[in-house]
Structure formats: structure tokens, C-alpha cells
Amino acid sequence: MPTRQKINFMAVLLLVFCSMTFSVQAGVSNCKEEMLPMNDWTFFQIGFWIDIPSSSANSNVYGLKTGQVISTGIGRVYGIEASWFLAGTDNISGMQVSWATCFNNQLDGLQASFGYNYSRDQLYGLQAGSVNISGGICGFQPGAVNLAQAVDGFQAGAVNMSRTVYGLQGGVAANITESIVGSQLGLVNVSKAMTGFQGGLINMTEESDGFQFGLLNFSDTSGVQLGLLNYIKDSSIPLMPFVNIKFGNKAEKDKKSK
């Protein structure tokens, strides 16, 4: 499968996961309340189900919000939200933890569960679970499957997908991104534009401004490749064993960008 098709496949998966998440969130919180002013707050809030009691729907908590078994709401938590099944308050500064799943719009701190974690807009800190999805993450995202629109930090898991990466993707099976400035380490590494390093059995990129090390290395434009078979499409000798090198130039990059 060509690199562009792999990128399109990544985008489709992201859209599927995001649409699933939005559907779940629509069912989780249909609260029509408005957020309370910051001076209206409490030390402790307990929730039993989706916006039950009603005070949990938009409360500001400086301390502990707990779900027995579910806590949700459009409010804010400065401290800890901990629930048995679902922790789903929109705005978290601190920790959001659950045995099964966590949802929020934005978080500064830690989001962790044994199941599924979702942060819609931006997460600053750590997101850890079996499946992690974030609109953007600045920090560390460890899990079996990690999906993000933008990563400024480190993704670590079996499969990592992101539209852009500034940092490191470390995947047991596969790392897929449109653009990376940094490194991809895994069995299969796929990118559209790569500035940095790819290390794995199979490395694929369209535009390379860096180094590929693996069994099979593929690039459309340029790069430095070390492996059993190395292919640079635009090179005068595209296929080479062991080593292949082609340095790009500004004219070629400008031509391809048009």
C-alpha cells in the first residue's frame, strides 16, 4: 500500500474513533446548565449517574469529585475526580481517574484508567490507558492504542497515530503520522514528512530530511538510508542494497509544495 494511502487510512481511523467518541459523549452529558462562576464552589461532590444529582452537572470542585459509579458535568475540578466506572467532567486541573473510562474537554495533569481515555481539546500532562484519544497532547501518552491530532512529547504503545508529532513515537507494532519532527521507533513506521529518524523493520516516508535505519526503507524524495534494501524514488539509482543517499534541495521541496 503506497504511503499516501496509509496516511488516508490513518485519517479514516481517526475520524471513526472521533465520531464514536462524540456519539458516546452526547449520550453521557446532555446537561443544559451553564457553568457556575468561580466563586461558587465546594470541597466535595458526589455523583451517582449522568448529572445525578443535578448539582454535579455544573459544580466547581476544589478538592474531590467522586462517582459512585459515574460522575459527569460541564463544571470544573481542581484536584481529583475519581469514579468507579466513568469520570467525565469537562474541565480538569489535577487528576481524573477511573477503573473503566475517562472523558474531558481539557486537562492539566493526569488522566488514567484501565480502559478508554478521551480528551477532546488539549491535554497537558499524562494520558494513560488501554486506548487513549486526544485532540492534542503536550506530554506523555502511553497505552496499547494511542491516537492524537497533535503530539508535542512522547507516544508509547502497540500502535501510535497522530497527525503531527514533535518528539517521539515508540510503537511495538506501528507508528503512523503525517508529519514528524523527531523519531519513530517501531516495527513499521509511516510518515508523509519526516525530519529526524525512523528505526524499524519497515520505514516509509514521502519526504525525508533525516535518517532511516531498518530492513526495508522507502522514501519518495531524499534521505539517508541504511538497511537490506533501500529505495529513494527520485534518486538516479532508486534501489540500493545496504546504503542509499540522496540529499534534497530547496528547489525540489518548493516544486513539490506547489
Q: What is the DSSP letter of 24?
A: H
Q: What is the pLDDT of residues 211-256, one digit of tens each?
A: 999 999 999 999 999 999 999 999 999 999 999 999 875 445 555 5
Phi and psi at 20, nearest 5°, equal: -60, -40
The overall average pLDDT reported for the chain is 88
163-210 confidence digits (pLDDT tens): 999 999 999 999 999 999 999 999 999 999 999 999 999 999 999 999
Q: Give domain status of residue 208, yes or no.
A: yes
Residue 210 inside a domain? The answer is yes
What is the number of structural domains in the chain?
1
Is 239 a member of any domain?
A: yes
Query: Domain for residue 199, yes or no?
Result: yes
**Is 222 inside a domain boundary?**
yes
Residue 34 lies inside a defined structural domain of this protein: no
CA distance 132 to 144: 8
pLDDT of amino acid 135: 95
* 82 domain-assigned: no
The yes-or-no verdict on residue 17 having pLDDT over 80 is: no
DSSP of 191-237: EEEEEEEEEEEEEEEEEEEEEEEEEEEEESS-EEEEEEEEEETTSSS
**Where in the sequence is the domain holding 173, given as residue range(s)?**
148-250
158: pLDDT strictly greater than 50: yes
